[in-house]
Amino acid sequence: MIKRDECLKLLASKIADDEIVVAAYTTAFEWIAIRPSPLNFISSGAMGLTSSHALGFALAWPDRRIILLDGDGSLLMNLGCLVTTANTAPKNLIHLVFENGTYEANGGHPIPGQDNVDFSGMAHSAGYKNCHKISDIKTFEESVGSILQAEGPTFVTLKCETGKNYPQDYRYMHSAKIREEFAEAVKNF
């Protein structure tokens, strides 16, 4: 099983400074500590909408790679996004789902049917072009380059567990400041 922050650190070392990263909840706290950037869009306030935000950005800016850092609980709140994303087929979208079997942002409650859900299988059935399941850091390290370069939409399930604790500043995450920084950063795209 992958420690999520190790995976995020590896990913951060492989992406360019001008790429948009859309992140949800607990993963977002880790991501903004590991790779602060005004091009980080933190999806908050409505669990499940991270994938919809990322799809909108991918369609608006087809020449920019959009990396979506989603959670399994978040994705379960909006499974319809898989069909919508596959139907619009953005070549620049990479959808990473960190599967830890819990609604981590809401107290760690277990996800119903967590042992039976196959997120990559659902994405494949919906029509995603590339689908992967990864459960160890070595495999992710070996494949992250090709995953990032593949024509999308690409979907990756990363079986993970939490790593170390990161600061969780909910006031900043929900603030106008973080939205204004993102809006300013994308103004000239």
Q: Is the pLDDT of residue 39 over 90?
A: yes
Of the candidates 65, 4, 71, 63, the one whose C-alpha atom is nearest the C-alpha of residue 42 is 71
Q: What is the tens place of the pLDDT at every residue in 123-163?
A: 999 999 999 999 999 999 999 999 999 999 999 999 998 76
Q: At what angle do helices 137-149 and 4-12 cross, to 10 degrees?
A: 40
CB-CB contact of 42 with 178 (8 Å): yes
Question: Has this prediction a pTM greater than 0.85?
Answer: yes
* Predicted local confidence at residue 86, as pLDDT: 98
For domain 2-180, the CATH class is alpha beta
The residues spanned by each domain of the chain are 2-180
Is 69 or 73 the better-scoring residue by pLDDT?
69
